[in-house]
Structure 1
């Protein structure tokens, strides 16, 4: 069994997994608050070690696989950059800490990269040679899988497409779920979440429907730009809002046909993430096993 972790600013999800028949199966799952502001980076590292120690006494743990917020040097396991959501996380080395404490092999990867690997190995991207994965939430994260490996880039920041400019503004400022919520609030003066906006749009609310359409248009422009550079076999869209796939697919395809090079688009499959909250742990598991 591999002990898998997904460390975010709000919670730490973890579980014991194996992959009989190339299907990832969790024998046990757990979740605990990260307490990032209180514990800070050093305290989170100690919390991780404590959790491993507890479970190692109950299960036959063969290794530890970690998906985490922050930019990660996947070779060394060091957190090379983390924002204020997890103070004092930059510079922590979870791989070294785990291996020294327990003598277990350990792999560490950025959460978006790990989610992309998880979808590639066990989800929507199975059998695909190259894949671009977008995670749409408060911001927009991206990851590129080439021949079964994450393309990290020279600064371990490849795939940070949320920062690229579309119409002269950062992509994520216009196409993330937070942008959709802001767009609706400015029009109607109400604070609705993504689910409520889609519910209203399906019920005939033209303001919400127009806001979703505007979001899809910018998303399509961003994806079209990425297709020109990467020419991936598949684009996988993840994040909570992408659970609305039946509503979003026709909108996105119509706009991709408008914005993307038709020859490239004809050789690219648009898919939606399948693994949900397990994607990060699944990708970390795959990374450790391979």
Structure 2
């Protein structure tokens, strides 16, 4: 890391996932000058582990005075508290940040992971140069973010962009139930016995992961390709609704499922084309994210610059 980057010029972001801490350090121009990940032990209190990880970052990055933190969950921005999180229910409604700031002597900003990832893509990735952008992430869950004129649109009480909660069919199923990495694994495990030619049949059913499905689809496995293509159609249906409602300029799709590259993206685009108002679809661009697993940490780092 360049010693020319001062404490105040550095922007540090941490993404807290269900099993790890992922961090980046940006320079004044937004270039990644360092990154560092660390394991998190589930079941132990997250806060002490986070404090220890921040100490590691100071040893690796040099000193810094502010931090952007992002987690999978809904945030009350007025109180800076976690309103809801599937992975960290023990921190719901708790004043986590005040204790962290006291222990680390940092100013800390907290943001939802999808919002942070969308913000990162808007400024540093696939969204550069546009005015309006919708970001969707397809991971263990499905999330979204709305960025207008460089700012995250949080909605009335901070919970805008919950893309995974969109109803996708007449049975009332939500997009997250049919398009997340978790749902792909469930669907694949329940159906791969019906296709004896699939290379996935070599794997124990209980051990099949979305990475396996993505890998075999890229290697030409028709069944794996079908599983991902169906996912793309579900997402494309929801994206059409976003296009029709918002006349958005750019849609960026990120997350683990997008490691399948064009298998998913092409299906999303084709389905969105079928269901969108033509002039609005033609004005929009649907593209894959560029920052991959660093998107949320990058966005959190950028957001930390707004701290006084």
TM-score w.r.t. length of structure 2? 0.83
Aligned to 1:18: 26
RMSD over aligned Cα atoms:
2.2
Q: Please tell me whether the aligned partners of residues 36 and 87 of structure 1 are also in contact (alpha carbons under 8 angstroms).
A: no
**Structure 1 counterpart SS, 2:90:** coil
1:5 to 14, 18, 39: 14
Aligned to 2:3: none
Q: Please tell me whether the aligned partners of residues 74 and 107 of structure 1 are also in contact (alpha carbons under 8 angstroms).
A: no
Q: Please tell me whether the aligned partners of residues 137 and 254 of structure 2 are also in contact (alpha carbons under 8 angstroms).
A: yes
Aligned to 1:33: 39
Aligned to 2:71: 68
1:228 to 219, 244, 248: 244
After TM superposition, give the deviation of residue 133 of structure 1 in Å.
0.7
After TM superposition, give the deviation of residue 210 of structure 1 in Å.
2.8
Aligned to 1:186: 190
> Take 1:127 and 1:74, find their aligned partners in 2: how far apart are those partners?
27
Cα displacement string for residues 230-264 of structure 1 (whole angstroms, at most 9, x for unaligned residues): 22211110111212223333332222211211111
- 1:55/1:184 CA distance change after superposition, 3 Å: closer
> Take 2:95 and 2:166, find their aligned partners in 1: how far apart are those partners?
29
After TM superposition, give the deviation of residue 14 of structure 1 in Å.
2.6
Aligned to 2:255: 239
> Take 1:25 and 1:128, find their aligned partners in 2: how far apart are those partners?
22
**Structure 2 counterpart SS, 1:36:** coil
Aligned to 2:84: 81
> Take 2:84 and 2:116, find their aligned partners in 1: how far apart are those partners?
16
Q: Please tell me whether the aligned partners of residues 5 and 281 of structure 1 are also in contact (alpha carbons under 8 angstroms).
A: yes
Figure out how many residues of one structure are paired with residues of the other and give that number.
282
- 1:57/1:30 CA distance change after superposition, 3 Å: closer
Q: Please tell me whether the aligned partners of residues 140 and 182 of structure 2 are also in contact (alpha carbons under 8 angstroms).
A: yes
> Take 2:237 and 2:57, find their aligned partners in 1: how far apart are those partners?
46
- 1:56/1:253 CA distance change after superposition, 3 Å: closer
Q: Please tell me whether the aligned partners of residues 73 and 109 of structure 1 are also in contact (alpha carbons under 8 angstroms).
A: no
> Take 2:285 and 2:167, find their aligned partners in 1: how far apart are those partners?
24
Aligned to 1:106: 108
- Listed as ranges, the gaps of 5+ residues in structure 1 are none
1:249 to 265, 275, 278: 265
> Take 1:221 and 1:266, find their aligned partners in 2: how far apart are those partners?
16
Q: Please tell me whether the aligned partners of residues 94 and 108 of structure 1 are also in contact (alpha carbons under 8 angstroms).
A: no
> Take 2:116 and 2:220, find their aligned partners in 1: how far apart are those partners?
38
- Listed as ranges, the gaps of 5+ residues in structure 2 are 1-9, 194-200
> How do 1:120-131 and structure 2 match up within 5 A?
120-131=122-133
> How do 1:149-160 and structure 2 match up within 5 A?
149-160=151-162
> Take 2:159 and 2:253, find their aligned partners in 1: how far apart are those partners?
19
After TM superposition, give the deviation of residue 52 of structure 1 in Å.
2.9
- 1:90/1:213 CA distance change after superposition, 3 Å: same
**Structure 2 counterpart SS, 1:235:** strand
After TM superposition, give the deviation of residue 204 of structure 1 in Å.
4.9
Q: Please tell me whether the aligned partners of residues 217 and 252 of structure 1 are also in contact (alpha carbons under 8 angstroms).
A: yes
